[in-house]
Amino acid sequence: QVQVVESGGGLVQAGASLRLSCTVSGLPFDAHSMGWYRQIPGTERAAVSCISWSGRSTYLESVKGRFTISRDNEKNTVYLQIDNLEPEDSAVYYCAASRDKRVLYTVCPSPDSAYWGQGTQVTVSS
């Protein structure tokens, strides 16, 4: 059984930093692409950053320079470092693991088939 567990969210002031963590069990972590998505109330869930099994990374244009994704295959964990938080970053952040292994044609897990965590709330006050 695959489990995806996020942690690290919280309530912070604008300009602060957070590091979100996502630990996965039940699959060969180093063979799966990982992604961080966020959902603001009233909007659809959107990918903010992904990292492939081979280490390629992508970022939503609006978060480039402030968000950094990384993975530690020894710990089965993917991280999202968020610096200089803005109120617009407030959302529930979800971690997703790709269902397929060693996918070559895309970096982000396919949302329709991914394994999802329960999400962690990030709230940024101005």
Mean pLDDT by 10 residues, the chain (126 residues): 96 97 97 97 94 96 96 98 96 96 88 96 96
In DSSP terms, 12 is beta-bridged to 124
Ordered alpha helix ranges (H), 35-118: none
pLDDT of residue 120: 97
Question: What DSSP element (H or E) covers 51?
Answer: strand 46-51
Q: Are 58 and 78 in contact (CB under 8 A)?
A: no
**Cα three-residue angle 49-50-53, rounded to 5 degrees:** 160
pLDDT of residue 3: 97
pLDDT of residue 103: 84
62 to 2, 29, 50, 67: CA distances (angstroms): 31, 28, 14, 10
pLDDT of residue 104: 81
